[in-house]
Amino acid sequence: MPVVLETVGLEKHFGGIAAVAGVSLKIEKGARHALIGPNGAGKTTVVNLLTGVLKPSSGRILLEGEDITSLEAYKRVQRGLARTFQINQLFLDLTPLETVGLAISERMGSGAQWWRLVGTNPVVVEEIVEILGRFHLTDVMYERTGNLPYGKQRLLEIALAIACRPRVLLLDEPAAGVPEDERHEILATVAALPADVSVLLIEHDMDIVFSFADRISVLVNGALFVDGAPEEVARDPRVKAVYLGESLNA
Amino acid sequence: MPSAPVAEVTHRLAMRARWGPLEYVFWLAALASVFLLPGRHLILTEIAWLALFALSLDLILGYAGIISLGHAAFFGLGSYLAALMAKHAIISEPVLALLVSGLGAAILGFATSFLVLRGSDLTRLMVTLGVALIMREIANQIPEITGGADGLQGVTVAPILGLFEFDIFGHVAYAYCLTVLFVLFLLARRVVYSPFGLSLRAVKGNPLRASAISISVNARLVAIYTFAAFYAGIAGALLAQTTAFASLDVFSFERSADLLLVLIIGGTGYLYGGLIGAVIFKLMQDWIANLTPQYWQFWIGLVLVLIVLVGRERIGAWTSAARALAEPVTRRFARGPMAAASGEGLPGEGR
């Protein structure tokens, strides 16, 4: 399988602390790749480096073979690299309808149009309706996002990323903080993501990881510890020692 | 779950930009004032250009979240450009001169927009304040062009479109300013209900997420800052043309600070805040100045403190109470069941 997203010796230092230390990661086309690790292992920092929120101290990031290390965040999205956030990052004063519409307009390159009114492009509207339907947001689409229940906000996080039509999708703990009875809706949505989208899932919940991933990378103290198929990782005694030991202590 | 019909969504989106009944009332009242209040045209003229100036600040503060204490930089540049063009008959026709003055201010806006891209509100306050101070000092240092501290004397403004001559009662001036305000308001209204306008609110709400859906945050901020500077320049040019004078105080700190006050009074982010604020501010100033000529600033200050206490949540929050009161009225007059159900089409709907 061709590699769609690759990091080469990625490092990020905050002051004297190496949050990410020499991570070389390969994500294959169509992969369901999970990045796991104990708290503070640097998982979210990796995502922030990949998406351009942070600049790496050294190392390179390649998207479909092209070096995007110094590319601005919004341009990476245009190249097909979208993400969700561990902590909701939504437009609280906008409705889900407007929010998804924004993402679609931007993708189509009509987001900066100032001479036409919102909602006058039928192609955009049709896609908004389709995506909101797919993510169970139809019945709340006119409500202010800030007033939505948490589970709906999590769904909107994913819907927004999908509206960017990514080739690589980074999911940062999509079910984090969602009450038990709303979890299945989100997990079903994650499971139903288009097969040709390569997904990197950052997750704490081992049930989710092992039911979803076909490849797992374990990050410990900013460095890649183990990288392999789920069964290999599950069997690896070092992972058990580090990861489960950490969980037991926590 | 059945997906919502595309037609209904299209309809609901179209309703965002629909004219609310209160908007008609506002503009009809403005039009009526031309005919019914001829004796008040001088102060109404001041209200009109101040409203345009405040609308300009609302575009960056209310929609893009850029706070400024130096918006007078653009106002002042527009003012001097218009006065100079009239004085030296470079461009005599006022409407054309108005546009050129606005464009001049827009160029300054574009050049200085890069200073407000990064940083906190505090940095932006200081940077914008600094730009206005620099502009004032430049004008002060070239008296051979600007007239320096004496102001630019001997300006004569030609008839508008070669037809309408300015009169001492301000009748033509008011009709002129109100027309310009209305036209530019329509343009601003179009812009804020466009995809671009929506993206500004997204950038204001959450720049991190905005860039994560491929919005170029900086490009949008540069664009709206430049656009707002154009508006401010036109407002300044209107002042110069209607008074046939320009002086250093067009750049003054007080002017920028008063402007922020106007917008705080009226509320931000629904376009009418600056307009309503300008009416209240000028009338209050006029009324209090008549009552106590020496202490009017004391009362203005007191009102400011009260406003901030009432709306301590956020700038402009206090007007939401007024709009909430107005909402039942709006609903009653709104056409169609959809509007009645949602209260959309209110001027404040954009919030």
Long-range Cβ contact pairs of A122-130 (< 8 A, separation 24 or more) = A122/B6, A122/B10, A125/A101, A125/B6, A125/B9, A125/B10, A125/B13, A126/B6, A127/A163, A128/A97, A128/A100, A128/A101, A128/A104, A128/B9, A129/B3, A129/B4, A129/B5, A129/B6, A129/B9, A130/B3
Question: Token pair for residue B9?
Answer: 């969504």
For residue B336, name the pLDDT band (cuts at 50, 70, 90).
very low
Q: Tens of pLDDT along chain A (250 residues)?
A: 799 999 999 999 998 889 999 999 999 999 999 999 888 889 999 999 999 999 999 999 999 999 999 999 999 999 999 999 999 999 999 999 999 999 999 999 998 999 899 988 999 999 999 999 999 999 999 999 999 999 999 999 999 999 999 999 999 999 888 888 888 888 898 899 999 999 999 998 888 899 999 999 999 999 998 899 999 988 888 887 876 665 544 4
Contact of A82 with A166, CB cutoff 8 Å: yes
Q: Would you give the end-to-end CA distance of chain A in angstroms?
A: 37
**CA neighbor of B231 nearest in space, from B175, B280, B274, B173:** B274
Q: Is A147 on the interface with B (CB under 8 A)?
A: no
Q: Does pLDDT of B49 surpass 50?
A: yes
Specify the pLDDT at position B324.
Answer: 59
Q: Is the dihedral of CA A52, A57, A63, A67 positive or negative?
A: positive
The pLDDT tens digits for B179-232 are 999 999 999 999 999 999 999 999 999 999 999 999 999 999 999 999 999 999
Q: Is A123 on the interface with B (CB under 8 A)?
A: no
Residues 36-75 of A with CB under 8 A from B: 51, 53, 72-75
Contact A90/B217, CB-based, under 8 Å?
A: no
The H or E element spanning position B131 is: helix B121-141
Q: Does pLDDT of B315 surpass 50?
A: no
Please list every residue in chain A whose beta carbon sits closer than 8 Å to the beta carbon of residue B190: 114-115, 117
Axis crossing angle, helix B217-243 with helix B171-192, rounded to the nearest 10: 170
Strand-pairing partners, residue A13, are A18
Question: Token pair for residue A184?
Answer: 């299945």
Question: Token pair for residue A183?
Answer: 């979890």
What residue has token string 């039509």?
A: A165
Axis crossing angle, helix B21-36 with helix B272-291, rounded to the nearest 10: 40
Q: Tell me the shortest Cα–Cα distance from B83 to chain A, in angstroms.
A: 31
Q: Is B313 on the interface with A (CB under 8 A)?
A: no
Provide ipTM, 2 decimals.
Answer: 0.91
The H or E element spanning position B15 is: helix B6-16
Q: From the centroid of its chain, how far is CA B13?
A: 26
Q: Provide CB contacts within 8 A for A198, sequence distance 6+.
A: A4, A5, A27, A28, A29, A30, A31, A33, A167, A168, A169
For residue B325, name the pLDDT band (cuts at 50, 70, 90).
low
Please list every residue in chain A whose beta carbon sits closer than 8 Å to the beta carbon of residue B213: 77, 82, 102-103, 106, 160, 163-164
Q: What is the mean pLDDT of residues B32-52?
A: 95
Question: Token pair for residue B122?
Answer: 């505090």
Following DSSP, what letter does each residue of B154-169 receive, concatenated? ---PPPBTTTB---TT
For residue B265, name the pLDDT band (cuts at 50, 70, 90).
confident
Please list every residue in chain B whose beta carbon sits closer than 8 Å to the beta carbon of residue A142: 12, 342
Q: Is the dihedral of CA A230, A234, A236, A239 positive or negative?
A: positive
Question: Token pair for residue B343?
Answer: 């209260």
Q: Is A160 on the interface with B (CB under 8 A)?
A: yes
Strand-pairing partners, residue A63, are A5, A66
**CA neighbor of A66 nearest in space, from A75, A57, A54:** A75
Q: Tell me the shortest Cα–Cα distance from A152 to chain B, in angstroms.
A: 15
Q: Provide CB contacts within 8 A for B306, sequence distance 6+.
A: none
**CA neighbor of B249 nearest in space, from B85, B72, B78, B70:** B72
For residue B349, name the pLDDT band (cuts at 50, 70, 90).
very low
**CA neighbor of A215 nearest in space, from A234, A197, A196:** A234
Contact of A33 with A27, CB cutoff 8 Å: yes
Q: Does pLDDT of B82 surpass 50?
A: yes
d(CA B211, CA B100): 34
Please list every residue in chain B whose beta carbon sits closer than 8 Å to the beta carbon of residue A128: 9
More confident residue, B155 or B134: B134
Specify the pLDDT at position B80.
Answer: 97
Q: Phi and psi for A51 in degrees, rounded to 5?
A: -90, -5
Q: Is A106 on the interface with B (CB under 8 A)?
A: yes
More confident residue, B212 or B322: B212
Contact B209/A90, CB-based, under 8 Å?
A: yes
Which of A77, A114, A128 faces B213 most closely, judged by CB atoms?
Answer: A77
Specify the pLDDT at position B57.
Answer: 98
Q: Does pLDDT of B279 surpass 70?
A: yes
d(CA A31, CA B165): 74
d(CA A243, CA A237): 10
Q: What is the CB neighbour count within 10 angstroms for residue B163?
A: 7
Contact A132/B205, CB-based, under 8 Å?
A: no
What residue has token string 């192609």?
A: A123
Which of B3, B194, B213 faces A118 most closely, judged by CB atoms?
Answer: B194
Question: Token pair for residue B298?
Answer: 């004391």
**CA neighbor of B81 nearest in space, from B105, B62, B64:** B105
Strand-pairing partners, residue A227, are A217
Q: Is B4 on the interface with A (CB under 8 A)?
A: yes
Please list every residue in chain B whose beta carbon sits closer than 8 Å to the beta carbon of residue A136: 1
* Strand residues in chain A grouped as ranges (E): 3-14, 17-28, 32-36, 58-63, 66-67, 81-83, 168-172, 198-202, 215-220, 223-228
Classify B110 as helix, strand or coil: helix
Q: Tell me the shortest Cα–Cα distance from A243 to chain B, in angstroms.
A: 31
Contact B211/A73, CB-based, under 8 Å?
A: yes
Q: Which chain B residue's Cα is nearest to A162?
A: B213
Specify the pLDDT at position B328.
Answer: 53
More confident residue, B311 or B204: B204
Which of B2, B195, B210 faces A113 most closely, judged by CB atoms?
Answer: B195
- Count chain A–chain B contacts defined by CB atoms under 8 A: 153
d(CA B107, CA B111): 6
List C-alpha distances in Å: B281 to A15, B113, B165, B239, B345: 51, 28, 29, 17, 26
d(CA B282, CA B174): 15
Q: Provide CB contacts within 8 A for A197, sequence distance 6+.
A: A30, A166, A167, A168, A169
Q: Amino acid identity, residue B172?
A: V
Following DSSP, what letter does each residue of B289-332 receive, concatenated? HHH-TTTHHHHHHHHHHHHHHHT-SSTTHHHHHHHHHHHHHHHH
The H or E element spanning position A156 is: helix A150-163
